[in-house]
Amino acid sequence: MLNKLYYRLLLCFIYPLAWLPKQVLFYFNKLSMTWQDFQEREFLIALSYHKFINNLPFDVTFESKKFTNRRDSIAQERKRKQEINIKADSIDGIFIPADLKSCFVELDRLLNDTTKLKIKNIQDSLEFVGEYHMGLGRWMRNAWGLWSGSRLKVYFHDRKIFHPDEISSIILESYAKYLNDETFDADEIIQIIHIQHEEFMRNLELGSTGIVFTAPKIKYSRNYRRFLYFRLFGRKRSLNIPYLGIDITRPLHHLSIPEKIP
C-alpha cells in the first residue's frame, strides 16, 4: 500500500500541515500507531521511502513494533511513577504539601519576609495572581507535581479542581488571605475562589470585564502569509483544492498566493 502513496507522502513533506489519506491512517492504526504517534509515523514513512528508492528490504510491521513497544513501556513506567508520586510526601527531594494548609506552612518556610509582606499588601487578587502566576505559581505547578501527579494534585481533584493553573491560583489567593490573618475553612475558600474564577471567565466571554484587547496592526511578509495560508487551509485531504484555486500537485514556486487570506 505504501508504495502507491509515496508521491502523496512526499507532498506531506512539502506541505507539512497537509493530512495523510484515510487509507494510510487506517493502515497505521492497524499497526497500533495512533494520531499521538504522528512523529514516529512520519519517521517510518521517510525511512520506508529511503529503503524503497535504494531497493532495500523494509518490514514496516517490525519497525512499527519497535516504536509501539517503546511507547507502551514509557507509558507503563510513567504510570508506575505516578502511582508512587501521588502517595509520596516528597518528589525529587522537594516536599509536597498534603493539603491547602500545609501549602501555607511550606510557603512560609520558602519565602522571605520581604516577599511575604509584598503579597500581604496587594489589594487586587487578579493583580496578585497575574504577577506571581509565571513565577511562584509556575514553580508550584512544576515542583509540587500539579502537572505530573502528586498527593496535592489528588487533594484538589477530590474537590473538583482539575487544572494546574487554577490550583496554583487558588493556593496563591488563599495564601494572601492567610497572611492577612483571615480565618476561613479550606474547602470553603477553595470553592469560593473557584466560583470567582468561573464568574470572571464568563464575564470575559461576554466582554463585560472592562479589559480591551486591541489587535496589533502588522504587515506580514509574503512568505509568512504563505505559511498562514497553508496553516489555515492546508488540511484539505484531496490533492486538488479547487475552491481555493490551488493545485498542490504543482511545484511550490508555481503557487499563486493571494495578498489577503480569504
Question: For 211-248, what is each residue's pLDDT tens digit?
Answer: 555 656 666 677 767 766 666 655 444 334 343 343 44
Higher pLDDT, 242 or 196: 196
**Tell me, what's the pLDDT at 173?**
87
Q: List % helix, strand, coil for the chain (3-state, nearest 5).
A: 65, 5, 35
Closest of 61, 59, 2 to residue 33, by C-alpha? 61
Domain residues of the chain, as ranges? 2-85, 90-206, 222-254
Whole-structure pTM value? 0.60
Q: For residue 96, with 0-12 CB atoms within 10 Å meaning exposed, 13-18 middle and 19 or more buried, which class applies?
A: buried
Q: For residue 170, with 0-12 CB atoms within 10 Å meaning exposed, 13-18 middle and 19 or more buried, which class applies?
A: buried
Joined together, the cell numbers standing for residue 216 give 496589533
Grid look-up 492497524 returns 30
**Tell me, what's the pLDDT at 140?**
94
How far lies 167's CA from each of 146, 164, 222, in Å?
8, 5, 43
Question: For 103-134, what is each residue's pLDDT tens digit?
Answer: 999 999 999 999 999 888 887 777 777 888 88
How far is 233 from 244, CA to CA, in rounded Å? 9
Most confidently predicted of 3-17, 56-70, 223-237: 56-70
**Tell me, what's the pLDDT at 18?**
44
